[in-house]
């Protein structure tokens, strides 16, 4: 479940590592192995949450968009 603190921690570790790597090089040059090594997470754990790096990026974008939408909703109420 998304409310599970372990799941939230795993997502946060992977996302932070992903954003660090993305600041250094293009998506195409990032490997799941180096992402998992940096995040301190097993590859099998990564695949339990995401299908690939594009899926991780899409989920990050979706969450950012949702946060932005919620912020706008509070402005215009």
Q: How does DSSP classify residue 19? A: H
pLDDT at residue 77, rounded to an integer: 77
pLDDT at residue 2, rounded to an integer: 55
- HSE, side-chain direction, 13 A CA sphere, residue 18: 22
9's tokens: 């921690």
Each residue's pLDDT tens digit, 16-65: 999 999 999 999 999 999 999 999 999 999 999 999 999 999 999 999 99
- 3-state SS class at 31: coil
pTM score, two decimals? 0.84
- 3-state SS class at 30: coil
């Amino acid at each position: 479940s998304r409310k599970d603190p372990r799941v939230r921690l795993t997502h946060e570790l992977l996302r932070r590592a992903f954003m660090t790597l993305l600041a250094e090089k293009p998506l195409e040059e990032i490997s799941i192995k180096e992402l998992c090594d940096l995040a301190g997470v097993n590859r099998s754990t990564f695949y339990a949450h995401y299908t690939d790096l594009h899926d991780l990026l899409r989920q990050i974008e979706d969450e950012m968009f949702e946060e932005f939408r919620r912020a706008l909703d509070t402005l215009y109420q």
